Amino acid sequence: MHAAPGETILQSALREGFSLPYGCRNGSCGICKGKILTGTVDYGRYNEETLTEEEKQAGMALFCCASPVSDLVIECREISAIKDIEIKTLPVRVEQLDRVAPDVMIISLKLPANQRLQFLAGQYIDILLKDGKRRSFSLANAPHDDEVLQLHARNYPGGVFAEHVFTRMKVKDVLRFEGPLGSFFLRDTSEDVPIIFLASGTGFAPIKSILEHVFYQEASKTDKHGKRNMTLYWGVRTKADLYLVNLAEQWQQQHDNFTFVPVLSDALPEDNWSGREGFVHEAVLQDFTTLENHQVYACGSPVMVKAAYQDFTTMRKLPRDGFFSDVFTPSTSSE
Ligand code: FES
């Protein structure tokens, strides 16, 4: 593992794909504490109650603050599964609200100064409402980019919290959430198994998190080896619903192992659309005669996810254990 100049041990480990545990990333919680077996470090700025002088003498360091001064051998705990990640309940402040499509709002949430949220790309959080109800939102930011949490909220008829987001929510409002939750995250495979991402509407959010994290980790790989081929099919109704289309196009320009296929189901005449049309999972059926050696990650409406699972596994020989999904079920006032 190579550290870039000024990088902490934790930063370089995360960049290279090692899931070291962390909490605050500023030297106050102690979750990242590990042992320096050989080599020297600059301990950086940290809270002295979190790392005592005796612990330092015993070779311990806070990996979120310490940076290497020489080659190091370290001993640490690695997060290998969701069960290793702590589920927290935290307050957050609304930092920014961006209405990016007629019915899509991007909500940026700031955590308290001494807190960070460790999660796997693709997971979600539950916003805890005052009446005891919860609303689930996928995290759209990547785990390495965790200063501000990003959610993509869609407005829909009868959605009480959605309506609140679109009419009354203001910057500086305080919310509480529990997370991270869910098992929608990228599975490692030993071989180069190509990946198909399938998103409908704001199902784009967790896939954005996964892709940004993959691109970030690939940036430290020097050769093409180990870069998996990835295709994103993003299905929406009209062109205006492709709310981050520029970002997806930019990924395609920058990464030769990534292809973006937008699909409209109800293109308007003024959309002047010459791209793919119809249901998003049908575009995959048209493009692939077999999915035998693929993984599919589908996120969005229940109808889309169900149809994709059925058709891919029966008509295209996708292995059942190669299909991963996160279904967005709308919540209404009666729930
Ligand atoms: S001390 Fe909290 S993550 Fe390092």
User: What is the Å distance from ligand 1's center to 214 Cα?
Assistant: 24
pTM across the whole model = 0.82
Q: Is the distance from the beta carbon of residue 32 to the nearest atom of ligand 1 less than 6 Å?
A: yes
User: What is the Å distance from ligand 1's center to 32 Cα?
Assistant: 5
Per-residue pLDDT, 335: 45
Q: Is the distance from the beta carbon of residue 60 to the nearest atom of ligand 1 less than 6 Å?
A: no
Q: Is the distance from the beta carbon of residue 30 to the nearest atom of ligand 1 less than 6 Å?
A: yes
Q: Which atom of ligand 1 is nearest to the CA of 24?
A: 2
Where are the domains positioned within the chain? 9-80, 83-181, 195-327
CATH fold of 195-327 reads Rossmann fold (3.40.50)
Domain 83-181 sits in CATH at: 2.40.30.10
Per-residue pLDDT, 334: 46
Per-residue pLDDT, 331: 64
Q: Is the peptide bond before 68 cis (omega within 30 degrees of 0)?
A: no
Provide block-wise average pLDDT over 10 residues at a time, the chain (335 residues). 86 82 80 92 91 94 95 85 82 97 96 91 93 91 94 90 93 96 79 92 97 90 75 97 98 97 97 97 98 94 90 93 82 51
Domain 9-80 sits in CATH at: 3.10.20.30
Per-residue pLDDT, 223: 61
Cβ proximity of 47 and 27 under 8 Å: yes
Per-residue pLDDT, 259: 98
What type of residue sits at position 297?
Y
User: What is the Å distance from ligand 1's center to 281 Cα?
Assistant: 43
N residues, the chain = 335
Distance (Å, whole) CA 324 – CA 328 = 14
How far CA 216 is from CA of 14, 211, 251, 276, in Å, comes to 10, 8, 11, 29
User: What is the Å distance from ligand 1's center to 15 Cα?
Assistant: 17
User: What is the Å distance from ligand 1's center to 85 Cα?
Assistant: 14
User: What is the Å distance from ligand 1's center to 208 Cα?
Assistant: 26
Cβ proximity of 178 and 92 under 8 Å: no
Q: Is the distance from the beta carbon of residue 28 to the nearest atom of ligand 1 less than 6 Å?
A: yes
Q: Is the distance from the beta carbon of residue 50 to the nearest atom of ligand 1 less than 6 Å?
A: yes
Burial level of 227, CB count in 10 A (0-12/13-18/19+)?
A: middle
Pocket test for ligand 1, best of 20, 29, 88 (most atoms within 8 A of CB): 29
Per-residue pLDDT, 222: 64
Q: Give the helix/strand (H/E) hosting 104.
A: strand 104-110
What are the tokens at 206? 């967790």
Q: Which atom of ligand 1 is nearest to the CA of 50?
A: 1
Pocket test for ligand 1, best of 8, 26, 77, 114 (most atoms within 8 A of CB): 26
How many CB atoms neighbour CB 102 within 10 A?
A: 11
Distance (Å, whole) CA 80 – CA 20 = 9
Pocket test for ligand 1, best of 9, 11, 20, 22 (most atoms within 8 A of CB): 22
